[in-house]
Structure 1
Amino acid sequence: MAQRFHKMHGLGNDFVIIDARHGGAPMEAARARAIADRRTGVGCDQLIVLEPSDVADVRMRIWNADGTEVESCGNATRCVVLLEGRGLTIETLGGVLTGRLDGDGASIDMGHPRFGWEDIPLAYAMDTAAMPVGWEDLQAPFAVNVGNPHVVFFVEDADAVDLARLGPQIETDPLFPERVNVNVASREGGALRLRVWERGAGLTQACGTGACATAVAAIRKGLVQSPVEVRLPGGALTIDWAPDRPIHMSGPAVHVFSGELVE
């Protein structure tokens, strides 16, 4: 049976989006991996399935390229708002998000960050603002949950870090029982330069939740002021946050093409 899909991306972080609100084949890890495969499938960083929701306009489920289902994805959220062509609420495993059209993309209310060690979660209690751990030159990260777990390292030059080698080591460290997204960031004037190793997807062109986590960490540490531009390999996002307020993320989204999966 053929199933329609949309290929979209936010700053090069790309998705296959399937609308299953009116029926469709169930998703599981092996099928998600097959669709995400860039050689034998459609190819994407994350697979998105839209389903009916009892608490929001739509439910968004997210599978990484390795077949693991995860809680939240900021870039995909903007793509779903663009695909729907209207403001809407979106249920995710990380909470209910609110989005609206904004220029050539969308603006998303990403909810409130969480800083407790058990919220990340970590394997044991510690200061999440300056964790007393490190991996080679990456030391004392800031940990925050923005719908999914992140650690943020502030370095002199984010582009100089061998994130392809260190990222998977940190992601799978026993300190992180649910694994973790790894961010390395450096200041560029009042903006941030960011690279992200995404849990279950590897190095990506952009990560919306990573930009949110990094901006929150930098604002909390007094490194930048809100709103802050976060510059990723695929382009820039604007993050606005203050304590006791939800995070607001704005940036572009692009519809690339539509097609049919025949399985």
Structure 2
Amino acid sequence: MVKPLTFSKMHGAGNDFVVLDLRDHTAPSPALCQLLADRRRGVGCDLILGVEAPRSPMAVAAYRIWTANGLSSSQCGNGARCIAAWVMRAGLAPGPDFTLDSPSGVHSVAFVSEDAIRIDMGRPSFDHDAVPVKSVLKQAHLSFDLSEGLLLSVSPVTIGNPHAVIEVNDVDAAPVAMVGPMLQASPHFPDTVNVGFVEVLGRDHIRLRVFEFGAGETLACGSGACAAAASLMQRGLVDRSVRVSLRGGDLQIDWSDSQASIALTGPARFVFDGVLSDDRTAENLRARLSSEPHLTEIHS
């Protein structure tokens, strides 16, 4: 008998995830990722996270990230906080300070409470090869002509995954649904990109919307908050400690200087836990969901 696959539905400031315990399981197939992410026929989420045994000596656990289409992702700040909360609840951490292995490296965690989990996200990079972005210009701010009459000023930055930051006067009026997919499909970003639209409210407060790779616009994006804040800090437009207001809630970003790691602080919440049956191939799950709507056992 195959051990049943357990999961937790979680969110960080509205950015939601299905967290799988993969310590005794293989990675989910693309078809299973699609099913889990489906908000009508599955559990529903922006991304799928998988907890695994640690890969480095100092870490208490490792995790991987998949999009709804089953593609691997390298970074997720809100997801990292949810993994940290999951690890704490599972008793895998020796105390409130520990480290996690992610696809982009090792992250230090300081767990104060479910409302304040601080993740060391690494050092942002504005190097065009690291993002990557194709441009003959090696400057922090680039102008892209995406289509006739649409000229954008974009700041490329990577925080373990690629971001394009666009400063706007009113984030509510930003053309997120139009420009996001256009930049992601643009040859300027050969490995695609997460597209952030940021409005500066003051030296210590910004507003942000992010069109994420593989998920579309989400209620919050932790790595996107780091990227937007870092881009503005690098240009001297905001202080080194800034509150980022997203549609799902607020995150705190702290970056002491350009040579230091950037820190992300915010909440993580459990929504419910469940179990998938041991016969969990996507094809069988799809067939059974039609006749057995309660295939997923939910525990509050």
Question: Which category of TM-score, normalised to the shorter sequence, fits these structures?
Answer: over 0.9
- Mapped contact 1:128–1:143 kept (Cα < 8 A): no
Deviation at 1:163, TM superposition (A): 0.6
Structure 1 residues 88 and 137, CA gap change in structure 2 (3 angstroms): farther
Deviations 1:194-236 (A, max 9, x none): 0000011101000000000000001111111020000000011
In structure 2, the residue matched to 1:253 is 268
Q: Using the alignment, how far apart are the partners of 1:127 and 1:159 within structure 2?
A: 30
Equivalent of 2:117 in 106, 120, 123:
106
In structure 1, the residue matched to 2:34 is 33
Would you say 1:213 and 2:227 are equivalent positions? Answer: yes
Q: Which moved more, 1:227-236 or 1:118-127?
A: 118-127
- Equivalences for 1:77-226 in 2 at 5 Å? 77-85=80-88, 86-103=96-113, 104-135=115-146, 139-190=152-203, 191-226=205-240
The letter for the 1-side match of 2:10 is M
Structure 1 residues 148 and 112, CA gap change in structure 2 (3 angstroms): same
Structure 1 residues 203 and 236, CA gap change in structure 2 (3 angstroms): same
Q: Using the alignment, how far apart are the partners of 2:71 and 2:136 within structure 1?
A: 26
The letter for the 2-side match of 1:218 is L
Would you say 1:234 and 2:248 are equivalent positions? Answer: yes
Q: Which moved more, 1:68-77 or 1:1-10?
A: 1-10
Deviation at 1:126, TM superposition (A): 2.8
Q: 5+ unaligned residues in a row in structure 1: which ranges?
A: none
Equivalent of 2:7 in 5, 11, 33:
5
Deviation at 1:148, TM superposition (A): 0.3
Deviation at 1:25, TM superposition (A): 4.1
SS at match of 1:133: strand
In structure 2, the residue matched to 1:62 is 65
In structure 2, the residue matched to 1:75 is 78
Instruction: Give runs of ≥4 in structure 1 deviating > 6 Å.
Output: none
Deviation at 1:172, TM superposition (A): 1.6
- Mapped contact 2:133–2:156 kept (Cα < 8 A): no
Q: Report how many aligned residue pairs link the two structures.
A: 262
SS at match of 1:141: strand
- Mapped contact 1:134–1:140 kept (Cα < 8 A): no
- Mapped contact 1:100–1:108 kept (Cα < 8 A): yes
Q: Using the alignment, how far apart are the partners of 2:66 and 2:27 within structure 1?
A: 13
Q: Using the alignment, how far apart are the partners of 2:151 and 2:33 within structure 1?
A: 32
- Mapped contact 1:197–1:204 kept (Cα < 8 A): yes
Equivalent of 1:19 in 15, 18, 21:
21
Q: Using the alignment, how far apart are the partners of 2:248 and 2:27 within structure 1?
A: 32
Q: Using the alignment, how far apart are the partners of 2:145 and 2:260 within structure 1?
A: 30
- Equivalences for 1:36-55 in 2 at 5 Å? 36-55=37-56
Deviation at 1:174, TM superposition (A): 1.4
Deviation at 1:34, TM superposition (A): 1.3
SS at match of 2:143: coil
Q: Which moved more, 1:137-146 or 1:237-246?
A: 137-146
The letter for the 1-side match of 2:258 is P
Deviation at 1:154, TM superposition (A): 0.5
Structure 1 residues 138 and 18, CA gap change in structure 2 (3 angstroms): farther
Q: 5+ unaligned residues in a row in structure 2: which ranges?
A: 89-95, 281-300
